[in-house]
């Protein structure tokens, strides 16, 4: 329960920081990766590493002390899970935010949901930020599949948690709703 509360708080903090960065950096473009597109990567957890590539990854916030070698620059990365490895599009190329400790990557930040990746345990967290929750979850799931370039079956192999802050819906707060198309999901 404490972990769930911490995850929800982290999502809200990331959303606030993302909004602040957006406001402070209006009009400032983020650099984009320039890998050759043929690189491969591998990971069994944590920050995925690259085995090739010559590009630079976007660094967020722009004033961060990250080097281009901090993040993978290849087109795809492979995330190791207990259900096998899943190759996904390299979401490090255009993140909304990377925390200063480089442990959390905010991949998508919208008014209805946030999608973040935690490098310490190779997990994804979706925060549903608007009602109706079913519509927000559907949009978040579509964003996850499209951004990562994976199928629903591959998404079910990843470690993905779907949470709702108590300020949005007290009945579902702190409960991992799961992806609607994966076994064990909670219906909305």
Q: pLDDT (tens digit, 9 = 90+) per residue, 119-167? A: 999 999 999 999 999 999 999 999 999 999 999 999 999 999 999 999 9
pLDDT band at 25 (very low <50, low <70, confident <90, very high): very low
Instruction: With respect to residue 151, please indicate whether it lies within any of the assigned structural domains.
Output: yes
Instruction: With respect to residue 174, please indicate whether it lies within any of the assigned structural domains.
Output: no
Domain count, the chain: 1
Give the pLDDT of residue 4. Answer: 56
The SS3 call for residue 185 is coil
Q: Model-level pTM greater than 0.75?
A: no
Distance in angstroms (rounded) separating the CA atoms of residues 53 and 33: 10
- 43 has a pLDDT exceeding 80: no
Instruction: With respect to residue 171, please indicate whether it lies within any of the assigned structural domains.
Output: no
- 26 has a pLDDT exceeding 90: no
73-125 tens-digit pLDDT: 899 999 999 999 999 999 988 888 888 888 999 999 999 999 999 999 999 99
Instruction: With respect to residue 176, please indicate whether it lies within any of the assigned structural domains.
Output: no
Two structure tokens written together for 139: 């949009």
Q: What is the DSSP letter of 91?
A: G
Instruction: With respect to residue 180, please indicate whether it lies within any of the assigned structural domains.
Output: no
Instruction: With respect to residue 111, please indicate whether it lies within any of the assigned structural domains.
Output: yes
Domain that holds residue 57: 2-25+32-163
Distance in angstroms (rounded) separating the CA atoms of residues 131 and 151: 26
CA 139 to chain centre: 14
Distance in angstroms (rounded) separating the CA atoms of residues 71 and 110: 23
Instruction: With respect to residue 51, please indicate whether it lies within any of the assigned structural domains.
Output: yes
Instruction: With respect to residue 103, please indicate whether it lies within any of the assigned structural domains.
Output: yes
């Amino acid at each position: 329960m404490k972990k769930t509360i911490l995850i929800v708080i982290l999502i809200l903090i990331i959303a606030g920081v993302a909004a602040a960065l957006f406001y402070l950096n209006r009009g400032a473009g983020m650099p984009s990766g320039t890998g050759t597109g043929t690189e491969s990567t591998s990971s069994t957890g944590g920050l995925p590493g690259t085995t090739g590539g010559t590009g630079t990854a976007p660094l967020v916030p722009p004033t961060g002390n990250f080097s281009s070698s901090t993040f993978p620059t290849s087109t795809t990365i492979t995330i190791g899970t207990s259900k096998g490895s899943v190759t996904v599009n390299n979401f490090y190329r255009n993140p909304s935010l990377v925390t200063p400790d480089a442990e959390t990557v905010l991949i998508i930040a919208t008014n209805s949901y946030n999608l973040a990746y935690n490098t310490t345990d190779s997990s994804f967290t979706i925060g549903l930020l608007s009602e109706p929750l079913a519509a927000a979850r559907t949009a978040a799931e579509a964003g996850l599949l499209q951004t990562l370039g994976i199928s629903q079956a591959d998404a079910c192999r990843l470690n993905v948690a779907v949470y709702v802050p108590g300020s949005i819906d007290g009945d579902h707060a702190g409960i991992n709703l799961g992806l609607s198309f994966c076994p064990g999901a909670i219906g909305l």
